[in-house]
Amino acid sequence: MSDTTHPAKTPSFRDWLTAENPVSPAQARAQQVWLGWRKLRRNGSALLGFALLAIIVFAAVFAPLLATQDIFTQDLANRLQGPSLQHWFGTDELGRDIYSRLLFGARITLYIACLTAVIAAPVGLIVGTVSGYFGGWVDIVLMRITEIFLAFPSLVLALAFVAALGPGINNAIIAISLASWPPIARLARAETMVIRRSDYISAVRLQGASNTRLIVSHVMPMCIPSVIARITLNMASIILSAAGLGFLGLGAQPPSPEWGAMLSAARQFILTSPHVAAFPGIAILVTSIAFNLVGDGLRDVLDPRHE
């Protein structure tokens, strides 16, 4: 009887992802992403946050297609009208469509939040890693500066900066960024103080790597996951600060459909026409909750200490 040989089974993509011993850096990174997705998939609140955030981003990107009215057209004959088939969320004090203005306002809110994160996260990461890596007088100076910023509530600090810079969206972004980087710096410093004592850092140092290379190529990448989770959690505070500046007239200026500015204009009609203030307030609340839920989920995935 002749022996029959069976061809070797070709490993599937799932087998490649779940292999115990990855054979390449690309496979190791793919496995990390896969394991993170599995952990995130079991977190119902995080998935809800991602769903809400996806809806908000979709509404902002496709606002020109989803809007039913021009956001600047005034119709004083139909001012302060309640929700109807023509105006889904009603009209404001100038007869403008609230639903359409909320859609375009989402663009402004996400623009402020994302640009603030892009500015504050790198600044906090650089200050924190340099402070934690070098220690000594460098750590003392940088942390004292950080503590000066932390001594004031973020909104109060943002108010002070934007009052000095002047009203406007770009100045509001700068002001909020200056108030948002200190917590990131404190987190990065704490992570760096642990990482710098690791054996692999000592090994790279013995190979002749400079301090700059150690910080940029080895320390910062280890801190980035925690920074991403923290800045996502801080998005709610950034959105509230932006809305607060807009409410006080120091952020986006009329007739811009920024949610805080819409709330400011609606406050005098809150008793007679509550819908004018309710819908911008709900938009701010839902967006803040979405970022908090996403931040909690990312922290659970990116930080192994949170199980």
**pLDDT tens-digit profile of 4-26?**
555 555 666 666 666 766 666 67
In a domain, 244, yes or no: yes
pLDDT score recorded for residue 13: 64
| In a domain? residue 190 | yes
Q: What angle, rounded to 10 degrees, do the helices at 25-41 and 275-302 form?
A: 130
Task: Check which CATH number belongs to the domain holding 209 and give it.
Answer: 1.10.3720.10
CB 100 within 8 A of CB 280: no
Q: Is residue 231 part of a domain?
A: yes
Domain around 141: 60-67+90-302
Evaluate whether residue 2 is within a structural domain.
no
Question: Which pTM does this prediction carry?
Answer: 0.84
Residues of the chain with pLDDT under 50: 1-2
Cβ 77 vs Cβ 95: under 8 Å: yes
Q: Which two tokens stand for residue 195?
A: 């990482």
CB burial string 91-128: b at 16+ within 10 A, e below: bbebbbbbbbbbbbbbbbbbbbbebbbebbbebbbbbb
What is the per-residue pLDDT for 1? 47
DSSP letter (8 states) at residue 2: P
Q: Is residue 18 in some structural domain?
A: no
pLDDT at 189: 93
For the stretch 207-216, contacts whose Cβ atoms lie closer than 8 Å and that sit 24 or more positions apart, written own/partner, are 211/133, 211/134, 214/133, 215/129, 215/130, 215/133
Tally the domains of the chain. 1
- The answer to whether residue 263 sits within a structural domain is yes
Can you give the pLDDT at residue 160?
A: 86
What is the per-residue pLDDT for 23?
62
pLDDT digits (tens, 9 = 90+) for 68-95: 898 988 888 888 898 988 889 999 888 8
Q: Has residue 262 been placed in a domain?
A: yes
Tokens of 279: 């819908």
The answer as to whether 226 is a domain residue is yes
